[in-house]
Chain A
Amino acid sequence: MSGTAMGVDVDRVSKRFAHRVKGEVYAARDVTLRVQPGEFLTLLGPSGCGKTTTLRMIAGFERPDAGRICFGNDDVTGVPANRRNIGFVFQNYALFPHLSIFENVAYGLRVRGEPEDAITRAVSDVLALVGLGAHEQQFPAQLSGGEQQRVALARAIVIRPRVLLFDEPLSNLDAKLRVQMRHEIRDLQRRLSITTIYVTHDQEEAMAVSDRIAVMNQGRVVQEGTAEDLYHRPATQFVAQFVGRVNLIAGVVQTINGRSATIAALGRAIVARPSPCDLIAGDSVQIALRPEAIAIAQTSAPGSLQATVLSSVFLGDKVEYLVRCGDETLQVARYNAGPTTPLAAGTAVGLSFAEDAVVVLRISRESAT
């Protein structure tokens, strides 16, 4: 069922909307994406960041005000959705309520005028592929949410699309099913190697399914990279806060020595590898530190930071602490290897972390919304 995979180029695409209060606003601004053939790219961001608008422009549901969209070498910017040969999966599945499951999946093939026996074969194959072989004659309203999602998926891939597009496909499912479905989607995409663009606001989902993630905020792509890149090397305060949880601590650059910097923060000098390389001594910065990167111990080892436990929450696999360290309140997570008793509030503790766990960020006014 796999056609030759094809890359997608989104080149400086913008879309403006007239807003009743704010006047003209950019839903997407100079968005540039290069998706490799067969790659799984996720657009990740909070609601209103422009990810769905970008996806709808790639699908052809919206026309960009500026920029160019290419599938392979084809410029499709002005091509309507029905001539782009895409597969689209909507958040609410958008199944045709008046057609049976078979006819839902067959729709795209019928539009293409394929012969009846080819349709029957293709639909049966794809329904078997998504595990719904027995449901051909049922109607969408008779299926569960997960099954409807599979029909939507089958309907999108049966036409052998050049590009597969997902708009928050899992957000109407319950948590368990969501995890299961994201594995299935990932698995199917690998097997069919269809170039895929996926939109979600759920960072865990994005990390689980994607080859690469583009984080969007306020209409722009703010960082692109693998899940590891984004998590360990966030480029901005927004990305640090949106992908995973983070402690942001104010600091001042003291010295720069080649590839590492000394930052005055938490009442001491912290050595870190700065990500922005244009820092100079005296700059105000923030350092980002993941809660699980901080080790917490009752016996304070030499060189550790002195802190006091404010509160703790037992979550099964880990204990989350809020601790007071100088003027800062920090989140610390300690994973439980076995039965443990959380440290009580008021306990004096020592905190420590590895040098390479510290990320230095320039102070920006952009904020997580």
Chain B
Amino acid sequence: MSAAGVAPTAVVAGRPSRDIGIALTVAALWLLLALFVVYPLVMLFARMLGMLGGRGSVDFGALLALLTDRNQLRAFWNSLLLAFLVGTVGTLAGFLFAFTATRCRLPRAAVTAIDASVLLPLVSPPFTTAIAMIFSFGPRGLITYGVFGLKGYTVYGLGATLFSEALTYFPIAYLTLRPILTAIDSNIEGMAQSLGASRWRVFRTVTLPLTVPGIANAFLLLFAASLADFATPLILAGNSFPVLPTQAYLQITGLFDLRGGAALSFALLVPALIVFLLQRYWVSRRFYVTITGKGAGQTPFDSVSPGGRIVLIASVISITVVVAYFYALLLYASLVVALGANHTPTLAHYRVIFTDGWNAIRDTLIIAGFSMPLGGLYGILLGYLVTRHRFPGRRTMEAVSMMNYALPGTIVGIAYLIAFNDPPLVLTGTALIIIACYVFRYGPTGIRATVALLQQIDPSLEEASQGLGARSGTTFRRVTLPLIMPAFFAGLGIVFIRSMTAISATIFLVSISWTLITVKILEDITELSLGPAAAFSVLVVVIVFVVVAGISRVLREFRAPGAPGVSLFGG
């Protein structure tokens, strides 16, 4: 046992891989990444550059003309403005919820109620609140027309889009901020108090500064989500407030101008990429580690005055009531003939979606059913390889795998459309193109969960297995896999939820043979058959809730005692 024999294991986290199995897996993953991440983006870029120059030459002038077009410029700035406002409002609401949940000494049941109301927007198609907005504030809206009797009032525009997106995305901020507020050692706040600081001063000088990295993170996540959202503006923004993703969509579906759509979606890429890089490489390094020894499990710091507590709880309840109202309205609308006009109860809308809409339901379930295991497997394989094995280009592989996840769905969708419409690989019109899109776009959640989990598991566990003579395949199967099962199921869950609810990328990829519920809902909305749209939305929420509940149950089962936990909505 010389010192030299000990040193390498102490320094090297992963080990050089000589196993043929590992090498083959790495090669296969590279091939898939090249095909489904790099190739479409290269094709998108090529199509955009060659857009008007025709045969081989690049016409920057025409590209510039499109990008500097007054309408498109306005759409660009509108997108940024909307994203900024959604980020601000959503982060505020998320902080309010997280602070109330962690600092108001609420009974357990109340915290569970908050969690449930926050979960609802997360598992719905992104435009669910948008439909409810129209039901409430539209031309024949329950509130504008029904209660106030307003005529000719128009809800469409920035306000409605902002409201709807903030309500849809604030749960992301809540889920980001809550663990951070929980992790702040209550002794630190108690210490500030014992030094003479009032509650407000403790909040201002200790709690808030310690949460700033989380707030920045939440803001960037919401900014990116809003920037990528095209369904909500499509329904609510109206003509007065064009945004980029919607413009790109209309350019392609309306004018069938694939090149113009490509260029517009590319303009989205710059802010999206900046936000992603900021979030990953700047904010993530600014988190303070405050968890030490005794902190957790102690009585929470008494940080809220009785009056403040009432204000906080009242605000949370009012937002929760709005969310609950929207979803109740959606359910109600699916069960009456025509909301706002004829409130006779009926199951007709459900009959419609299970007859005319049956294909969409079947296709969606088949696609989600295939995407889910593939995405989960892809997530843990790649996550495991990049954290536990050393091979050339390991960091690059991780970065490339994150691209489809980081980019707005519109870009990914258009890139797939361009890349797989022509030989060598024609996938347009198949289910495979949609499945591939989901796997490579949402599988990265599983990668991140796996990486996070593996970083908490000491490599010596695997070294012990190898020391006992197991090959890396055996070690993976017998030791690592059981430990990262939670990440696998978290990956499964996210891919399934997104397969059921996403639209921004896949709207470009549906065909006559394969369509999706979300696309069908959008069609229904544009055709003003709001009843079936509501029924579809309710169905999606119910299916997702059932599956998520099932997966959460399995997650609990699989979590070995003492093993680090993984949340379904963690990353």
B162 proximal to A (CB < 8 A):
no
Q: How far is the CB of A70 from chain B (nearest CB, A)?
A: 18
In the assembled complex, the Cα of A90 lies from the Cα of B290 at a distance in Å of 13
CB distance from A365 to the nearest CB of B (A): 30
In the complex, B288 has a CB within 8 A of chain A: yes
Contacting pair A86 B201 (CB below 8 A) = no
Q: Give the docked Cα–Cα distance between A86 and B194 (Å).
A: 6
- Tell me if B143 counts as interface (CB < 8 A to partner A): no
Give bound CA distance, A82 to B302, whole Å: 12
Contact A159 B196 (CB under 8 A): yes
Residues of chain A in range 57-73 having any CB-CB distance to chain B below 8 Å: 59-62
Kindly report which residue of chain A lies nearest to residue B188, judged by CB atoms: A94
Assembled-state Cα–Cα distance A86/B103 (Å):
24
Contact call A90/B192, Cβ cutoff below 8 A: no
- The one of A59, A91, A97, A172 in contact with B194, judged by C-beta atoms closer than 8 angstroms, is A59
Interface check A143, CB cutoff 8 A: no
Q: B55 at interface (Cβ–Cβ under 8 A)?
A: no
Chain A residues with Cβ under 8 A from B433's Cβ? none
Complex Cα gap A327–B438 (Å): 76
Least CB separation from A80: chain B residue: B193
What CA separation (Å) do A366 and B295 show in the bound complex? 31
Contact of A353 with B by CB under 8 A? no
Decide: B194 and A92 in contact? CB cutoff 8 A.
no
Query: Judging by beta carbons under 8 Å apart, are A83 and B188 in contact?
Result: no
Check B195 against A111 for contact (C-beta < 8 Å).
Answer: yes
A-facing residues in B174-215 (Cβ within 8 Å): 185, 187-188, 190-198, 201, 205-206, 209-210
**In contact, A111 and B194 (Cβ under 8 angstroms):** no
Complex contact B191–A94 (CB within 8 A): yes
How many of chain A's residues touch chain B, expressed as a range? Answer: 20 to 34
CB of B196 within 8 A of CB of A94, answer no
Say whether A96 contacts B192, CB under 8 Å. Answer: yes
* Interface residues in B248-306 (C-beta closer than 8 Å to A): 288-290, 292-295, 299, 302
| Contact of A111 (CB < 8 Å), options: B201, B290, B299 | B201
Interface size, chain B (Cβ < 8 Å): 26
A91-B293, A92-B295 given; A112·B188 CB < 8 A:
no
Q: Which of A150-171 contact B (CB under 8 A)?
A: 155, 159
B196 with A97: CB separation less than 8 A? no
A95 partner residues in chain B, CB cutoff 8 A: 188
Contacts of A62 in B (CB 8 A): 299
Distance in angstroms from A23 CB to nearest chain B CB is 17
Bound-state CA distance A172–B192 (Å) is 21
Cα separation A96 to B345 with both chains bound (whole Å): 60
Q: Inside 8 A of A155's CB, which chain B residues have their CB?
A: 191, 195
What is the CA–CA distance of A256 and B290 in the complex, to the nearest angstrom?
61
Contact of A84 with B by CB under 8 A: yes
> Which A residues lie within 8 Å of B190 (CB)?
59, 61, 81, 88, 90, 94
Question: Taking CB as reference atom, which chain B residue is nearest A158?
Answer: B195
With A and B bound together, what is the CA distance between A92 and B201 in angstroms?
Answer: 22
| A92-B185, A92-B292 given; A111·B197 CB < 8 A | yes
Assembled-state Cα–Cα distance A93/B196 (Å):
17
Q: Which residues, 335 to 357 on A, are CB-close (under 8 Å) to B?
A: none
Q: Note all chain B residues with C-beta closer than 8 A to A259.
A: none
Q: Which residues of B contact A88 (CB under 8 A)?
A: 190-191, 194
Contact assessment for A82 and B194 in the assembled complex, using a CB-CB cutoff below 8 Å: yes
**How far apart are A161's CB and chain B's nearest CB, in angstroms?**
9
Asked whether, in the complex, the Cβ of A60 is within 8 Å of the Cβ of B194, the reply is yes
Q: Are A92 and B294 in contact (CB under 8 A)?
A: yes
State A113–B293 Cα separation when bound (angstroms).
Answer: 32
Knowing A92-B185, A92-B295 are in contact, say whether A107-B192 is a contact too (CB < 8 A).
yes
Question: Please, how many angstroms separate the alpha-carbon atoms of A111 and B202 in the complex?
Answer: 10
Give the distance to chain B from A222, nearest Cβ to Cβ, in Å. Answer: 24
Q: Is A251 an interface residue (CB 8 A)?
A: no
A85 at the interface (CB under 8 A from B): yes
Closest B residue by C-beta to A152: B191
Given A92-B295, A94-B187, A111-B201 in contact, is the A81-B194 Cβ separation under 8 Å?
Answer: yes
List the B side residues contacting A313 at CB < 8 Å. none
Please name the residue on chain A nearest to B288 by beta carbon. Answer: A97
Q: Which residues of B contact A108 (CB under 8 A)?
A: 195-196
Q: Known A91-B294, A92-B295, A96-B206; judge A111-B187 contact (CB<8 A).
A: no
CB-CB under 8 A from B185, the residues of chain A are 92, 94
A residues in contact with B197, CB < 8 Å:
82, 107, 111
* A203, B290: Cα distance in complex, Å: 29
Q: Report if A368 contacts B (CB, 8 A).
A: no
CA A96 – CA B185 in complex, angstroms?
10
Give the CA-CA distance A97 to B192 in the complex, in Å.
Answer: 12
Interface residues of A in 105-135 (CB under 8 A from B): 107-108, 111-112
- The answer to whether A281 has its CB under 8 Å from any CB of chain B is no
Minimal Cβ-Cβ distance residue in A for B199: A82
Name the residue among B190, B195, B290 with the largest chain A CB count within 10 angstroms.
B195
In the complex the two chains form, what is the Cα distance from A93 to B187 in whole Å? 8
Residue in B193, B288, B293, B299 whose beta carbon sits within 8 Å of that of A82 in the complex: B193
Task: Give every chain A residue within 8 A of B292 (Cβ-Cβ).
Answer: 92-93, 172
Does the CB pair A85–B196 fall under 8 Å? Answer: yes
Please measure, in the bound complex, the distance between the C-alpha atom of A231 and the C-alpha atom of B188, giving whole angstroms: 36
Query: Could you say which residues of chain A place their CB within 8 Å of the CB of B188?
Result: 94-97
What residue of chain B has the Cβ atom nearest to residue A90's Cβ? B187
Q: Which residues 364-381 of B have a CB within 8 angstroms of A?
A: none
Distance, CA A87 to CA B209, complexed state (A): 23
Instruction: Kindly report which residue of chain A lies nearest to residue B189, judged by CB atoms.
Output: A94
Question: How far, in angstroms, from A61 to B186 measured CA to CA in the complex?
Answer: 11
| Nearest CB in chain A to that of B301: its residue | A61
CA distance A84 to B205 in the complex (A): 20
Contacts of B198 in A (CB 8 A): 82
Please report the C-alpha to C-alpha distance between residue A188 and residue B30 in the assembled complex, in whole angstroms.
Answer: 64
Q: In the complex the two chains form, what is the Cα distance from A47 to B187 in whole Å?
A: 18
Give bound CA distance, A95 to B192, whole Å.
9
> Does chain B have a CB within 8 A of A301?
no
B195 contacts A97, CB within 8 Å? no
Bound CA–CA A197/B295 (angstroms): 21
**A208 lies within 8 A of chain B by Cβ:** no
**Of the residues A82, A92, A96, contact of B196 by C-beta under 8 Å:** A82
Complex Cα spacing A202 to B333, Å: 67
Distance in angstroms between the alpha carbons of A80 and B197 in the assembled complex: 10
* Chain B residue nearest to A145 in the complex (CB): B292
Judging by beta carbons under 8 Å apart, are B288 and A98 in contact?
Answer: yes
- Among residues of A, the one whose C-beta sits closest to the C-beta of B195 is A108
Determine the chain A residues whose CB is within 8 A of the CB of B191 once the complex forms. 88, 90, 94, 96, 155
Within 8 A of A (CB), among B5-29: none
In angstroms, Cα B201 to Cα A112, docked, is: 12
- List of A residues within 8 angstroms of B196 by Cβ: 82-83, 85, 108, 111-112, 159
**In the complex, A86→B190 CA distance in Å?**
12
Expressed in whole angstroms, the minimum distance between the Cβ of A140 and any Cβ of chain B is 9
B210 adjacent to A97 (CB under 8 Å): yes
A169 to chain B, nearest CB (A): 12
Asked if A363 is an interface residue, CB under 8 A from chain B, the answer is no
Contact, CB under 8 Å: B194 / A98:
no
Chain B residues within an 8 Å CB radius of A91: 293-294
- Find chain B residues with CB under 8 A from A85 CB: 196
Chain A contacts of B209 at CB under 8 A?
98
- For the complex formed, measure the closest distance between the CB of B337 and the CB atoms of chain A, giving whole angstroms: 51
Q: How near does chain A come to B200, taking the closest CB pair, in angstroms?
A: 11
New A-B contacts (8) at CB < 8 Å, excluding given A82-B195, A92-B295, A94-B190: A59-B194, A81-B193, A81-B194, A83-B196, A92-B292, A94-B187, A108-B196, A155-B191
Q: List 12 A-B contacts (CB under 8 A).
A: A59-B194, A61-B193, A61-B194, A90-B294, A92-B292, A94-B191, A95-B188, A97-B188, A98-B209, A107-B205, A141-B289, A155-B195
Residues of chain B whose beta carbon lies under 8 Å from any beta carbon of chain A: 185, 187-188, 190-198, 201, 205-206, 209-210, 288-290, 292-295, 299, 302
- Could you list which residues of chain A lie within 8 angstroms of chain B, going by C-beta atoms? 59-62, 80-88, 90-98, 107-108, 111-112, 141, 155, 159, 172
- What 8 A-B pairs are tightest by C-beta distance, nearest first? A108-B195, A94-B187, A92-B292, A97-B288, A94-B191, A111-B196, A88-B194, A92-B293
